[in-house]
Amino acid sequence: MQKQFEKGTPGFDLVRGFALRDRLPLQLRLDVLDVVFDLRPAARIMARVEGEVEGICRELLELGCFISVGKGVRWQRKSHGIACHDWFDDHGPDDKLEAMTLLYIGRTETSAIRAREADETRDDNVFGLALGYPQCCIDWVASRRRVPELAECFDLYTRDGLYDPLLWPGAMALDAQLTPHYPCSVECADSLKITRARLELLKGLECAPVIRRIQDARSVCYVMDAAGRVTAPVAAESLAGVRLARPAFPAAQRLNLVP
């Protein structure tokens, strides 16, 4: 834990309060913590133009982040409940979409600007490097020529219908993903390092509710229907004609949460 954020300091209360901010997506909070604690050089987050972006920017500045604001706005499907969307629609607006501001954050002004400029190239390799993604995962995406979609987790990260609770990007469906990127494989050492670092950081910040959410999201059965929609958890009576992904190990054990 960095000195300015050690327990008993105002900084600890500040960053812990942000980590526990339920009104913000967990994915966003973890991306910010990555930057604040130097797990990655930069991150890209999205904030709603209406009633959200100003408050988030204020908190980011209080946490010592530098911000570079993306050009224009992006349109994203409105989220309800546990829905999570990782794509943009550039054809808005309409009543199903909401305007989002892209914020690029870094521990230095240079890293924040570099992340924005890298995203503007629309080159996944350049952008991935700016965000500190593992090189092997960047190369893997380049070889595929596109970033995976959520439904592809069932092919990419399960074996015989079982997923590893520690490295399961499908938890994005519950806004509880532990990696900021799609790993190149379920054995990716660099991706596993990031997941473990994030968990240790949350433990150090005493964020029990967040850890419990992450654990719960890795203790359930995920379902992909014929249309490629991913949901979790599911009731037994609704399992006919769908594809399942179940945890291969008890989540608490795999996440090293057992005392």
Give the tens place of pLDDT for each residue, 218-238.
Answer: 999 998 877 788 887 665 545
117: helix, coil or strand?
Answer: helix
Does the pLDDT at position 90 exceed 90?
Answer: no
200-222 pLDDT per residue, tens? 999 999 999 999 999 999 999 99
Angstrom distances, CA of residue 40 to CA of 30, 66, 106: 11, 14, 9
What's the confidence (pLDDT) of residue 82? Answer: 36
Which of residues 48 and 93 earns the better pLDDT score?
A: 48
Residue 122: name the closest of 160, 173, 88 by CA.
Answer: 88
Local confidence band at 80 (pLDDT 50, 70, 90 cut-offs):
very low
Angstrom distances, CA of residue 156 to CA of 102, 126, 151, 159: 28, 23, 9, 9
21-47 pLDDT per residue, tens? 998 999 999 999 999 999 999 999 998
Does the pLDDT at position 56 exceed 90?
Answer: yes
The answer to pTM > 0.85 is: yes
What's the confidence (pLDDT) of residue 155? Answer: 93
Phi, psi of 202 (to 5 degrees): -65, -35
Q: Quick one: what percent of the chain has pLDDT higher than 70?
A: 87
Local confidence band at 52 (pLDDT 50, 70, 90 cut-offs):
confident
Q: How far apart are CA 173 and CA 157, in angstroms?
A: 14
> What secondary structure, in 3-state letters, does 18-77 show?
HHCCCCCCHHHHHHHHHHHCCCCCEEEEEEECCCCHHHHHHHHHHCCCEEEECCCCEEEE
Q: Tell whether the torsion through CA atoms of 101, 102, 107 and 110 is positive or negative.
A: negative
Q: Tell whether the torsion through CA atoms of 126, 196, 154 and 102 is positive or negative.
A: negative
148-163 pLDDT per residue, tens? 999 999 999 999 999 9
Of 4-13, 55-64, 112-121, the range with the lowest mean pLDDT is 4-13
Does the pLDDT at position 84 exceed 70?
Answer: no
The DSSP H or E segment spanning 5 is none
Does the pLDDT at position 89 exceed 50?
Answer: no
HSE (side-chain half, CA atoms, 13 Å) at 94 = 6
* Cis geometry, peptide bond prior to residue 93 (ω within 30 degrees of 0): yes
154-191 pLDDT per residue, tens? 999 999 999 999 999 999 999 999 999 999 999 999 99
Look up tokens 């594809």; give the residue.
243
Give me the residue spans of the domains in the chain. Answer: 1-127, 133-259
Q: 203: burial class by Cβ within 10 Å (0-12, 13-18, 19+)?
A: middle
